[in-house]
Amino acid sequence: MPPTLEVRNLRTHFFTRAGVVKAVDDVSFAVDRGKVLGLVGESGSGKSVTGFSILGLVDPPGRIAGGSILFQGQDLAGLSEEEMRRLRGNRIAMIFQDPMMTLNPVLRIDTQMIETVLAHAKVSREEARQRARDALGQVGIPSPEERLRAYPHQFSGGMRQRVAIAIALLHKPDLIVADEPTTALDVTIQGQILAEAQKLCAESGTALIWITHDLSVVAGLADDIAVMYAGKVVEEGPVTQVLDAPLHPYTVGLIGSVPSRNHRGEPLRQIPGMTPSLLNLPAGCAFRARCPRAEARCAEPPPMAEYRPGRFARCIHPYEEAAAA
């Protein structure tokens, strides 16, 4: 059986007046039933655009400029807008950082959820309501029957996010793309949502792509991890291997910057410089201006290579052994 989702050499570019922004430029990864892929990177690295591309939500001046997105073996890039709409919210769902991207502020929760059920399933209104109630209960919302009659503004941020997740769950999708869904939430509430996400994958076999800038969340949640930098995946592999023995100098730098990876009170190991603009990015490795291992060859674009079984890195000079991260 093919994996639930396989993205191959995806390119999503924005053709702006100032030039071509290669927001996603040769991204590949796969995620299987019941598994969690953590897609990590700093702001502007192309995580959200990757997510939007999978859902077919890229608007002009952006468009998918190459590659394929295979969902259960079927290429989504070839589907019509109508076919895509049928998959969205049904077999594939997205959860956004801001739950109000999903929720309509002027409609009661029950109206929104029932409409979502009826859009993809031939059931009675009463049954749709029942499903909505169950979904709210599933994400840990107390007294779901009462809560159904509320409006989004009557919920706290964490509750709103749980309602958005409940809506994503309504049709028991095979794939969920979650884009920084807990970034705006407090840790005690984040913990509740991460617990729901884990339960979901384990119980219903949903494949989950969890987009975040927070390596610590991915460490606890994901099976595999793909690290993005300047529109490309620069390292990929099982979470434990990537975090314990990173190959790519950027991954090493990123892990080293996390305060708990350093001795209390001592200077943090920092990556010098800042992320380059994606507009007119020079050829070669995009990390080379900040890389302690850069050499002349790095002016050529480094290919993604498998350095150990299942361990990929886009670097011609990776760390061989466990680097001091």
Partner 1 sequence: MNTVPEARPMDVVLDAPRAAAQDAPPIVELRGVSRRFATSLDFAAKLAKRLGVKVREDVVHAVDGVNLSVRKGEVVGLVGESGCGKSTLGRMVAGIMPPTDGTVLWHGRDLKALSGAEARQAKLRTQMIFQDPYASLNPRLKVAEIVGEAPAFHGLVGRGGLDDYVDEQLRRAGLDPALKRRYPHQFSGGQRQRIGIARALAVQPDFLVCDEAVAALDVSIQAQILNLFMKLRRELDLTYLFISHDLGVVEHLSDRVVIMYLGRVVEEAPAEEVFARPNHPYTRALLAEVPRIEARKRAFAGVKGEIPSPLNPPPGCHFHPRCPHAFDRCRVERPALREIAPGHRSACHLNDAA
Ligand X SMILES: Nc1ncnc2c1ncn2[C@@H]1O[C@H](COP(=O)(O)OP(=O)(O)O)[C@@H](O)[C@H]1O
Q: What does the binding site for Mg ion look like in residue numbers (CB under 5 A)?
A: 48
List the one residue from 11, 91, 213, 293 that touches partner 1 (CB under 8 A): 213
Query: Does residue 33 contact residue 42 with C-beta atoms inside 8 Å?
Result: no
Q: Catalog residues that contact ligand SF4 under the rule CB under 6 A.
A: 248-249, 285, 287-288, 291, 293-294, 298, 302, 315-317
CA distance 132 to 135: 5
| Interface positions, 108-147, toward ligand X (CB under 6 A) | none
Can residue 87 be called a binding residue for partner 1 (CB under 8 A)?
no
| Interface positions, 59-78, toward ligand X (CB under 6 A) | 62
Can residue 216 be called a binding residue for partner 1 (CB under 8 A)?
yes
Q: Pick from 69, 67, 29: which is nearest to 314 by CA?
A: 29
Q: Apex CA 131: angle with CA 127 and CA 132, to 5°?
A: 115
Backbone angles phi, psi at 145, to 5 degrees: -60, -45
List the one residue from 10, 27, 37, 49 that touches ligand X (CB under 6 A): 49
CA distance 42 to 183: 13
Can residue 289 be called a binding residue for partner 1 (CB under 8 A)?
no
CA distance 207 to 92: 10
Query: Does residue 57 contact residue 84 with C-beta atoms inside 8 Å?
Result: no
What DSSP element (H or E) covers 131?
helix 125-138
CA distance 234 to 238: 14
User: 265: alpha, beta or left, given left = phi > 0 and alpha = psi -120 to 50?
Assistant: left
Can residue 275 be called a binding residue for partner 1 (CB under 8 A)?
yes
CA distance 134 to 105: 22
Closer to ligand SF4 by Cβ: residue 106 or 324: 324
Can residue 270 be called a binding residue for partner 1 (CB under 8 A)?
yes
Can residue 38 be called a binding residue for ligand X (CB under 6 A)?
no
Can residue 43 be called a binding residue for ligand X (CB under 6 A)?
yes
Closer to ligand X by Cβ: residue 278 or 315: 278
Closer to partner 1 by Cβ: residue 66 or 157: 157
Can residue 16 be called a binding residue for ligand X (CB under 6 A)?
yes
Can residue 181 be called a binding residue for ligand X (CB under 6 A)?
no
**What is the smallest separation between the CB atom of 58 and ligand SF4, expressed in angstroms?**
28
List the one residue from 215, 225, 226, 230 that touches partner 1 (CB under 8 A): 215
Can residue 206 be called a binding residue for ligand X (CB under 6 A)?
no
List the one residue from 69, 148, 239, 278 that touches partner 1 (CB under 8 A): 239
Query: Which of ligand X, Mg ion, partner 1, none is residue 49 near (CB under 5 to 8 Å by kind)?
Result: ligand X
DSSP strands (E only) in the chain: 5-16, 19-31, 36-40, 62-71, 74-75, 92-95, 175-179, 207-212, 224-229, 232-238, 305-308, 311-313
Interface positions with ligand X (CB under 6 A): 14, 16, 21, 23, 41, 43-49, 62, 278
Interface positions with partner 1 (CB under 8 A): 42-43, 140, 156-159, 186-195, 198, 213-217, 219-221, 223, 239-240, 243, 253-255, 257-272, 274-275
